[in-house]
Structure 1
Amino acid sequence: MEKKQVRERLMANLFKARFPFLYISTWEEERVLSLIYSMASNQELIKTSRKVITWKITTGIEEAGVKAKGDTKSALKALEFVENYQEPAIFVLHDFHIYFGGEGRTPDHQIIRKLRDISLSLKRSPNPKNVVFLSPILRLPHDLEKDITIVDFDLPSFNEIKQILDDLIQVNKQTGRIEIKLTEEEKEKLVKAAQGLTLSEAENAFARAMVEDGRLSIHDVEVILEEKEQIIKKTEILEFVNSRLNMDDIGGLENLKRWLRKRNKSWLESTQKYGLPAPKGVLITGVPGCGKSLISKAISAMWQLPLLRLDIGKVFSGIVGSSEENMRKAIQTAEAISPSILWIDEIEKGFSGMNSSGDGGTASRIFGQFLTWMQEKEKPVFVIATANNISSLPTELLRKGRFDEIFFVDLPTHRERVEIFRVHLKRRLKDPNVARDFQINDDNLHYLAGLTEGFVGAEIEQVVINGLFEAFYEERSVTLLDFEKICKQFIPLSVTQAEQIKGIRDWANVRAVAATPREDREEYSESGEAEDISDIIASRGGRTIDF
């Protein structure tokens, strides 16, 4: 049974059971009202058909667009109208949360008392009557917690958004003004990209995509993601990362790339034929500067999903209880715009104070909240976490069920260094005058890769940049000697932090999968390169599992 039908069945049962007060927190007033109107006249579903009567502070009581006699804009007058009404009815009271206090506002105790007074009369009324509080904010006074039932109203389902898209396509096909270039799979991707938006937001996004270039195609996923960016900006906890990187911009790590490619499109409906769940996520650990953050950004482009960066530091707040609320808000937002990617960079720093007692256990509670969500989440939110100091991570985070896999990113091999040089040189050497005396060919790349044994990807990028500065200073084209000079001057991380890197490798040998494929990693045992940097490369970490 689809979620929409489950929701209808639940609300119908609550109405039939004469629950006096229901509370629906949502921005989609029209969608809720449409559902209530259809239910109220459906005798098969609700048994006794009922009138739908609405109240707003601006218009008072209205039935079918006709205002009630007298002044009913007052909340107290509206409740008296509900109490005295004699026919079967569902009363929808908009924005009633303003009388319940919060945000510096004092609760209206007279209104709260009146609600408690009429609760029993609603249950015992000869004709069924129910009150629905409809508001974008969920706020309940302690006095009414036992009287009000909260009803979750999820964002539009896949089928609801698909219906909106189909309707727009049908209308615009008839006019002939918009060109539709979508396969069924591409249409599914577009609908999936729009999940997390309200129906109105989704319709606006599709309409905007159509009018921008007079066509609707798979490339308009970018327009949908821009609409989702607005949601993220309003949270102040999550950051929408608009990355232009793709997997071709990252040299090496083919094992990890293959794993990710095989899980592309895994959030689409077609995976249900194989009985597959959406992947939970990956933890990427390893030597600093080896591309962990880069590949996190590149996943977004490969999968065409929004990338959200969670800063754990922003979750913590000085107000008691607000840190837990911030984490809930971040999780709810990530799920609301799913399918999405949630990126936590250097996760070990975010939860570093977990074992301390100075924060009253806040860090432990937030960490437990995050772990529970990771284990039980049903929405397609792919979590990618990166860590440099893996030893400081708690064991609970590393056990199976939290992440699908733990990958170890080691110092790049010779073949990977060739590809890293190729990526950075092609990205920067675009002016023919600057590149006149240097060619990006296999001989030069292999020579530079040989000079940079033990260098991480970030250090190779700096070699390219510093070499270009040499040429820039003398206002000439760059040469191989410029890069060679920088290589020989550079002291890599593998030398300055040899002990730390060895510790990371020892951990990864039995606990993680190598991000580099077997054939690349075997270069060292065959070439004997490891002896040149004091055995730092002698034992490369990560289990040899190839995907």
Structure 2
Amino acid sequence: MRSFPVELAEFLKARFPYLYIPTWEEERLLDVIKEVVRDPSRIRTVRDLFTWTVTDGMVGADSRMVSETQSPLKALEFINKYDQPAVFILKDFHFYFGGMAGRPDYPVIRKMRDLAVRLKQSPRPKNVIITAPTRVLPVELQKDVTIVEFDLPTEEEIARLLHEMIEVNRRSGRIAIDLKPEEEERLVKAALGLTLKEAENAFARAMVRDGRVGADDVEVILEEKRQIIKKTGILEFIRSPFSIDEVGGLENLKRWLEKRKNSWLDSAKRYGIPAPKGVLITGVPGCGKSLISKAISAMWKLPLLRLDIGKVFSGIVGSSEENMRQAIRTAEAIAPSILWIDEIEKGFSNIGSSGDSGTSTRVFGTFLTWMQEKTKPVFVVATANQIQELPPEFLRKGRFDEIFFVDLPTQVERKEIFRVHLRKRLRDPEVMRDFQLNEEILETLAHWTEGFVGAEIEQVVIAALFEAFSEQRSIRLSDFEKAVKNMVPLSVTQAEQIRAIRDWANVRAVAATAREHMVDYTRQSDRSCVPGDDDIRRVRGGRKVDF
């Protein structure tokens, strides 16, 4: 891919009249433009450089202001009459295109259309560069204006900034440097997606926080990225309190994720492997799909962004497509990152219907194309309860690396789920005076809750604690037995739906449960498996693949 200076030089030499560069980084862009227009090896003809703002008017490279050019029409007239090779930078000129003003300034637009012809025919090369934090372009200028993307700082630029800041503080002796090469790479990768100013602020904050620079300062950098997300309104930055150890079972999925940890770092390039695209997790409701989605963020130490499809669709014509593009740009801007879409079938289940004039189809198409062709390390985690409702093109290979099916937890998994919840809640010695958490107790609880999902097991623990709390005593095993007997599990109330999704997953998805945990087990036919009930065998869903 060509660098921005090379691309800019080509546009200038080809005498493109108007270049529109959307960016927040005016200073960094100005430095690059100065470097290009002063280099005869790039553009052959060295050119004068002027910058315009509504407050100062035209200002030359020598910092001298051109009088009476604050008006946009006067500025354009100055460009028209200037008779030397030059490049003119107009800052925040989108205001006159109908940006924050709401209504376009038609005399300015008409003047620009007239000027475009004269710029092309001028005996001396002249170009106009428009910079703005957002892209606003009226229909009248679409054929005359060329949009040029100015990417955020590269990894090399951020690494150079970090080195400079470290050297300055090392000489002063005020900051302790505690960075290994791989930890420095992790810090730089974490800062990708920030502007140079934002990265500088993040590094400076990390340095002054505890007087040192170390690998644990990644969290400070992620805080800067949270600020970016908060301003979009479409994405939500999730602070994940869960570790992968708090997810009971699903060992096959965990091993798959562990093998792909750090695959976006430079060390992975030696193996010629790409960054993973994403994973689709489907299965029985309440079995931990959302929980493990959040735990991936903590496991990989990457920011977790939640995309609410409902916020993408809005009432203004054309805004839904732009909302999706903005969400994608934001996720890529702070890459490497994790983009989480919960219950994705609710957003994309009615593709092709005529009720929205094709809006949902266009939004879906934008998302599909991005998933197929994305080059930035954005790992997509999508969860679905009713995966049959998703369009078939969404499920084909190339969109996701793998589709995992999360079934009802096995005996071993239920033990682990009970262990996680009991250890998290039972911390007071008085509450545990008559209760001892051991393998035998866990085996008993797991046996009683045959057919229960993870969320129901958590509610069993909570209900048992309420029993003890109501009588102000320590918890007992009988409290759990009572909670189990009073709860009708999802495997009973939605038996037909679970059977249908299992049939789908048997040939289309990989089981999230490890093969060694899929020992023969029994599940009751009409009631939870409390002592005394009759049990029957059932078949688990998902292809048996080990990672």
Q: Check whether TM > 0.5.
A: yes
Report Cα offsets for 1:170-203 as digits up to 9, x if no partner.
Answer: 1111111111111111111111111111110011
Q: Is the 8 A contact 1:197 1:228 kept in 2?
A: yes
**Distance (Å, rounded) in 1 between the aligned partners of 2:523 and 2:110:** 81
Give the letter for the 1:539 counterpart: V
**Distance (Å, rounded) in 2 between the aligned partners of 1:536 and 1:314:** 45
Give the letter for the 2:390 counterpart: L
Q: Is the 8 A contact 1:20 1:122 kept in 2?
A: yes
Q: Which residue of 2 aligns with 1:485?
A: 482
Q: Does 1:62 align with 2:68?
A: no
Q: Which residue of 2 aligns with 1:348?
A: 345
Q: Is the 8 A contact 1:55 1:93 kept in 2?
A: yes
**Distance (Å, rounded) in 2 between the aligned partners of 1:534 and 1:331:** 52
Q: Which residue of 2 aligns with 1:237?
A: 234
SS of the equivalent of 1:416 reads helix
Q: 1:490 Cα shift? A: 2.0
- Percent of aligned positions with the same letter in both sequences? 65
Report Cα offsets for 1:49-75 as digits up to 9, x if no partner.
Answer: 112111110001111353334311111
* Aligned CA distance change for structure 1 residues 258 and 309 (closer, same or farther; 3 Å): same
Q: 1:103 Cα shift? A: 5.4
Q: Is the 8 A contact 2:506 2:542 kept in 1?
A: yes
**Distance (Å, rounded) in 2 between the aligned partners of 1:282 and 1:26:** 32
Q: Does 1:209 align with 2:217?
A: no
Any stretches of 5+ residues in structure 1 without a counterpart? none
Q: Is the 8 A contact 1:95 1:134 kept in 2?
A: yes
Q: Does 1:515 align with 2:530?
A: no
How is 1:103-118 mapped onto 2 (pairs within 5 angstroms)? 105-118=102-115
Backbone CA RMSD of aligned residues: 1.5
Give the letter for the 2:467 counterpart: E
- Residue in structure 2 matching 1:170, options 167, 170, 173: 167
SS of the equivalent of 2:67 reads coil
User: More displaced, 175-184 or 294-303?
Assistant: 175-184
Q: Is the 8 A contact 1:494 1:536 kept in 2?
A: no
Report Cα offsets for 1:483-515 as digits up to 9, x if no partner.
Answer: 122122222111111111111111110000000
How is 1:395-544 mapped onto 2 (pairs within 5 angstroms)? 395-524=392-521, 528=522, 538-544=538-544
**Distance (Å, rounded) in 1 between the aligned partners of 2:363 and 2:534:** 42
Q: 1:521 Cα shift? A: 0.8
User: More displaced, 124-133 or 299-308?
Assistant: 124-133
* Aligned CA distance change for structure 1 residues 198 and 81 (closer, same or farther; 3 Å): same
Give the letter for the 1:13 counterpart: E
Q: Is the 8 A contact 2:57 2:66 kept in 1?
A: no
SS of the equivalent of 1:66 reads coil
Q: Does 1:546 align with 2:533?
A: no
**Distance (Å, rounded) in 1 between the aligned partners of 2:67 and 2:534:** 91
Q: Does 1:330 align with 2:327?
A: yes
**Distance (Å, rounded) in 2 between the aligned partners of 1:361 and 1:413:** 43
SS of the equivalent of 2:90 reads strand
* Aligned CA distance change for structure 1 residues 450 and 121 (closer, same or farther; 3 Å): same
Give the letter for the 2:60 counterpart: E
- Residue in structure 2 matching 1:31, options 19, 28, 32: 28
Give the letter for the 2:433 counterpart: R
Q: Is the 8 A contact 1:281 1:405 kept in 2?
A: yes
Q: Does 1:14 align with 2:36?
A: no
Q: Which residue of 2 aligns with 1:93?
A: 90
Q: Which residue of 2 aligns with 1:195?
A: 192
* Aligned CA distance change for structure 1 residues 24 and 331 (closer, same or farther; 3 Å): same
- Residue in structure 2 matching 1:50, options 32, 43, 47: 47
Give the letter for the 2:378 counterpart: V
**Distance (Å, rounded) in 2 between the aligned partners of 1:294 and 1:127:** 63
Q: Is the 8 A contact 1:413 1:523 kept in 2?
A: no
**Distance (Å, rounded) in 2 between the aligned partners of 1:227 and 1:424:** 33
Q: Which residue of 2 aligns with 1:228?
A: 225
Q: 1:106 Cα shift? A: 2.5
User: More displaced, 488-497 or 298-307?
Assistant: 488-497
Q: Is the 8 A contact 1:414 1:523 kept in 2?
A: no
Give the letter for the 1:390 counterpart: I
Q: 1:279 Cα shift? A: 0.6
Q: Which residue of 1 aligns with 2:310?
A: 313
**Distance (Å, rounded) in 2 between the aligned partners of 1:490 and 1:68:** 78
Q: Is the 8 A contact 2:451 2:523 kept in 1?
A: no
* Aligned CA distance change for structure 1 residues 449 and 69 (closer, same or farther; 3 Å): closer
Q: Which residue of 2 aligns with 1:277?
A: 274
Give the letter for the 1:416 counterpart: E
Q: Is the 8 A contact 1:502 1:536 kept in 2?
A: no
SS of the equivalent of 1:54 reads strand
How is 1:90-169 mapped onto 2 (pairs within 5 angstroms)? 90-102=87-99, 105-169=102-166
Q: 1:529 Cα shift? A: 5.5
Report Cα offsets for 1:458-506 as digits up to 9, x if no partner.
Answer: 0110111111111111111112221122122222111111111111111
* Aligned CA distance change for structure 1 residues 379 and 166 (closer, same or farther; 3 Å): same
Q: Is the 8 A contact 1:100 1:108 kept in 2?
A: yes
Report Cα offsets for 1:308-339 as digits up to 9, x if no partner.
Answer: 11111111111111111111111111111111
Q: Which residue of 2 aligns with 1:253?
A: 250
Q: Is the 8 A contact 2:523 2:536 kept in 1?
A: no
Q: Which residue of 2 aligns with 1:375?
A: 372
SS of the equivalent of 2:302 reads coil
**Distance (Å, rounded) in 1 between the aligned partners of 2:198 and 2:303:** 16
**Distance (Å, rounded) in 2 between the aligned partners of 1:298 and 1:17:** 52
Q: 1:353 Cα shift? A: 2.5
SS of the equivalent of 1:67 reads coil
